[in-house]
């Protein structure tokens, strides 16, 4: 410490003490000025300020406390002031500090040490000033940094914080301390923060982790930088976290992405975006072995609109087409038919009047034609543009992976070729790149059109397959099965039209017609003295219909007691939405309806779930019965199903019985009811009564 630069003002009304203090301090290298009382001290300091003031507490007129307070009021707290007091009581010391004293020295004074004491007092005071300056500088730096700063421990507890912008916090700053990030932040944000903390613990630092927060002023994005603080051995590690608001950067990135990947006119993805996604979907289709289709759409005669009505109107038409495409490929009936998540269907504008549609995870290649025709119908509707009607048509080409191409470029090229083929065929048309697929798609489309009309035209009819009660040897129940007699194509197998009806939602009205017709027929049998229980299959879509219970009770009110109706449901229908499923089953059972689980063993129901179902019966699938008696695996499966059913209190019906040997084995396994061609194929209602009086005397059974 350069003591020759330090000047001390000593104020004491006692001459001896003044001179002794002066001698001791000058010996230690200080420059000393003397004041005889308080007024003299103030006068000298105002005339020639010094580096330190030493005040005797007891002075006439103005004592040391008053001088100290006056100096503090004048120069602030940067001047070191030492009080010299002969009073050693705590009250006088506290009063000195209240007046603004930096420190105090008690009398009697050790004159040989006083110089060293003052040196250390001054050195401590300088260190305090340096610390204050450093703190002020650090505070200014922190306030200039746009980041939020926190200190965390290894468990994610907030230990300290610095938040120049509290509006960017997920709550009041003081609420953070002592709590963990998981208690303060949403799960996603807390997960990113803890991931960064673990990385910083392992590597010493972490950068680049990002998360978003929903704040009162809107959504904000943040980026974390985290480092581990140096600690002594044995101390728990702590971490400094800088959280920077990068919302503007994210918004800029989003704008850049939209410029690079989206069409500025329609807002749809552009060619680059479409090709990148199509390439990804091609790789995914190849890996998972699923289908994929690309539709290439071109507006017929669009050039005439630009030429006659102007490019402004043409741009408006393109925007309207894009809006119709967005809405047209999203409706749930279309999505369920294609078995595709609606968010997966990709739309794009390639340029001009060319648009594309990508359909991933295609179940049937010809389903793309269904969507193509829907789009074609959407485009046909007149566009009302500022009071003027504009009518357009579209030509659509379809390419299917992998038949028409195994890369994004190849699929787009073949779809484009198919689109020009559609134009050559007269425009307003849809064509596959493969002619055979076009024929299949048209057949499927025609079948769907005819299926929608079949109910109106009364083309459906029911047949009934008897079910033999082994205890009595007589027919006690029948299963109602639908058939379709097309006026031109004749009988269409159920395996062709039932899946299509389930895909397009027609299964609900068709299923209700089956239920109503079967119950009416059963009521007629009862009225004629032939009590028969009728079993009717419910599709999963019917079972999910919230009006199912009301529909069943309404139909039964037509004249059939509930116990004479058996509803057959599949395992797949029972697995979805367990709570709702159980509530529906219990409501039907409470109404008196019999319930059976169809095709048991082919699905994926768990045993624990099966015990909760209010079933009456389990039906063994014919695929297991078909292997009897020679297939040991089939026999073991049937035996296990029957044993399980008995333990759960269910009766058992076996389907697909075609031989006497199969009937004998099933009887020996305690099946109650058998159904199959060995007894009767499905027959019209008029043929059932002839079978009712027949006593089935099966060798070895009765």
List, for residues 307-354, the tens digit of each pLDDT value: 778 888 889 999 999 999 988 776 443 434 444 444 567 899 998 999
Q: Which domains does the chain have, with CATH numbers?
A: 3-141 (3.40.50.2300), 145-251 (3.30.450.20), 264-452 (3.30.70.270), 455-692 (3.20.20.450)
Any idea which residue has 């057959």 for tokens? 568
Half-sphere exposure of 9 (CA within 13 A, CB side): 28
Is residue 629 within a helix (H) or strand (E), and if so which, with residue range?
none
Residue 522 is predicted with a pLDDT of 94
Whole-angstrom distance, CA of residue 405 vs CA of residue 193: 45
Residue 542, token pair as written in the block: 């019917």
How many other β-carbons are positioned within 10 Å of the β-carbon of residue 631? 13
Instruction: For residue 402, say if its preceding peptide bond is cis, omega within 30 degrees of 0.
Output: yes
Residue 103: strand, helix, or coil: strand
Q: In what order do the strands lie in the sheet with 218-228?
A: 158-162, 148-153, 238-245, 218-228, 205-215
Residue 14, token pair as written in the block: 């006692």
Is residue 63 within a helix (H) or strand (E), and if so which, with residue range?
none
Q: Are 628 and 662 in contact (CB under 8 A)?
A: yes
Q: Nearest to residue 168, comparing CAs of 241, 240, 243? A: 243
Whole-angstrom distance, CA of residue 102 vs CA of residue 125: 8
* Phi, psi (deg, nearest 5) at residue 299: -75, 130
Residue 435 is predicted with a pLDDT of 66
Any idea which residue has 């959407």 for tokens? 378
**Ranges of H-type helices in 289-434:** 302-309, 311-328, 332-338, 367-380, 408-424
Any idea which residue has 């993805």 for tokens? 269
Residue 483 is predicted with a pLDDT of 95
Whole-angstrom distance, CA of residue 388 vs CA of residue 597: 59
Helices and strands, number each (H, E), in the chain: 26, 26
Residues 6+ apart with CB under 8 A from 653: 467, 596, 617, 618, 619, 620, 671, 672, 673, 674, 675
Reported residue count of the chain is 702
Q: Count Cβ atoms within 10 A of the Cβ of residue 73 and give its class: 0-12 exposed, 13-18 middle, 19 or more buried.
A: exposed
Residue 697 is predicted with a pLDDT of 64
Whole-angstrom distance, CA of residue 281 vs CA of residue 290: 10
Residue 335 is predicted with a pLDDT of 39
Residue 216, token pair as written in the block: 């009162």
Residue 284, token pair as written in the block: 């995914």
Report the chain's terminal Cα–Cα distance, integer Å.
122
Residues 6+ apart with CB under 8 A from 564: 522, 526, 531, 532, 533, 534
Residue 150, token pair as written in the block: 């926190």
Residue 257 is predicted with a pLDDT of 73
Q: Count Cβ atoms within 10 A of the Cβ of residue 178 and give its class: 0-12 exposed, 13-18 middle, 19 or more buried.
A: exposed
Residue 175 is predicted with a pLDDT of 73
Residue 3 is predicted with a pLDDT of 43
Q: Is the dihedral of CA 197, 200, 201, 202 positive or negative?
A: positive
List, for residues 681-697, the tens digit of each pLDDT value: 999 999 998 888 777 76
List, for residues 606-642, the tens digit of each pLDDT value: 566 677 788 899 998 888 898 888 888 888 988 988 8
pTM for this one? 0.49
Residue 178 is predicted with a pLDDT of 83
Whole-angstrom distance, CA of residue 473 vs CA of residue 701: 9
Enumerate residue ranges in the chain where pLDDT < 70: 1-5, 87-89, 136, 138-146, 163-168, 170-174, 232-233, 330-344, 435-441, 572, 575-578, 601-609, 697-702
């Amino acid at each position: 410490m350069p003591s020759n630069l330090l000047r001390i003002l000593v104020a004491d009304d006692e001459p001896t003490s003044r001179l002794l203090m002066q001698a001791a301090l000058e010996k230690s290298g200080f420059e000393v000025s003397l004041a005889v009382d308080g007024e003299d001290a103030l006068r000298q300091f105002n005339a020639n300020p010094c580096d330190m003031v030493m005040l005797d507490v007891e002075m006439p007129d103005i004592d040391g406390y008053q001088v100290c307070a006056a100096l503090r009021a004048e120069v602030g707290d940067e001047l070191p002031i030492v009080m010299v007091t002969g009073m050693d009581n705590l009250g006088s010391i506290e009063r000195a500090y209240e007046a603004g004293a930096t420190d105090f020295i008690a009398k009697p004074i050790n004159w040989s040490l006083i110089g060293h004491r003052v040196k250390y007092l001054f050195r401590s005071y300088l260190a305090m000033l340096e610390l204050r300056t450093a703190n002020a500088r650090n505070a200014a730096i922190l306030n200039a940094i746009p980041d939020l700063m926190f200190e965390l421990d290894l468990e994610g507890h907030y230990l300290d914080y610095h938040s120049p912008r509290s509006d960017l916090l997920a709550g009041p700053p003081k609420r953070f301390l002592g709590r963990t990030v998981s208690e303060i932040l949403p799960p996603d944000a807390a997960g990113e923060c803890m991931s960064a903390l673990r990385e910083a613990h392992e590597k010493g630092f972490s950068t680049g982790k990002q998360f978003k927060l929903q704040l009162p002023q809107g959504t904000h994005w943040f980026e974390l930088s985290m480092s581990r603080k140096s600690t002594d051995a044995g101390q728990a590690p702590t971490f400094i976290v800088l959280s920077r608001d990068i919302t503007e950067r994210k918004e800029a990135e989003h704008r850049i992405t939209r410029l690079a990947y989206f069409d500025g006119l329609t807002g749809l993805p552009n060619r680059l975006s479409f090709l990148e996604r199509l390439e990804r979907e091609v790789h995914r289709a190849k890996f998972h072995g699923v289908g994929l289709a690309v539709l290439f759409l071109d507006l017929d005669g669009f050039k005439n609109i630009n030429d006659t009505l102007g490019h402004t109107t043409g741009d408006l038409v393109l925007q309207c087409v894009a809006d119709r495409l967005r809405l047209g490929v999203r409706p749930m009936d279309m999505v369920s038919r294609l078995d595709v998540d609606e968010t997966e269907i990709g739309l794009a504008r390639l340029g001009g009047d060319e648009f594309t549609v990508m359909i991933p995870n295609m179940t049937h290649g010809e389903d793309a034609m269904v969507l193509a025709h829907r789009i074609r119908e959407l485009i046909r509707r007149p566009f009302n543009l500022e009071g003027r009607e504009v009518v357009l048509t579209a030509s659509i080409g379809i390419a299917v992976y992998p038949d028409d191409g195994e890369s994004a470029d190849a699929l787009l090229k073949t779809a484009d070729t198919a689109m020009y083929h559609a134009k050559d065929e007269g425009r307003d048309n849809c064509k596959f790149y493969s002619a055979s697929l076009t024929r299949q798609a048209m057949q499927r489309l025609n079948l769907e059109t005819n299926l929608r009309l079949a109910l109106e035209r009364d083309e459906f009819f029911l047949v009934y397959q008897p079910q033999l009660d082994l205890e009595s040897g007589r027919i006690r129940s029948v299963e109602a099965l639908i058939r379709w007699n097309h006026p031109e194509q004749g009988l269409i197998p159920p395996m062709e039209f039932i899946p299509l009806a389930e895909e397009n939602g027609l299964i609900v009205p068709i299923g209700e017609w089956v239920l109503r017709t079967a119950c009416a027929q059963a009521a007629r049998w009862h009225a004629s003295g032939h009590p028969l229980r009728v079993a009717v299959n419910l599709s999963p879509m019917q079972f999910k219909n919230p009006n199912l219970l009301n529909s069943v009770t309404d139909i039964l009110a037509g004249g059939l007691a509930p116990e004479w109706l058996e509803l057959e449901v599949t395992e797949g229908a029972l697995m979805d939405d367990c709570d709702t499923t159980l509530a529906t089953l219990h409501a039907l059972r409470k109404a008196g309806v019999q319930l059976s689980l169809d095709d048991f063993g082919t699905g994926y129901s768990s045993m624990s779930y099966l015990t909760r179902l209010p079933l009456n019966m389990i039906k063994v699938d014919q695929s297991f019965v078909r292997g009897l008696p020679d297939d040991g695996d089939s026999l073991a499966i049937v035996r296990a199903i029957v044993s399980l059913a008995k333990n759960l209190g269910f009766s058992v019906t076996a389907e697909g019985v075609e031989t006497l040997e199969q009937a004998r084995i099933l009887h020996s396994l305690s099946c109650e009811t058998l159904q199959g061609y060995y007894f009767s194929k499905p027959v019209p209602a008029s043929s059932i009564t002839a079978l009712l009086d027949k006593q089935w005397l099966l060798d070895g059974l009765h």
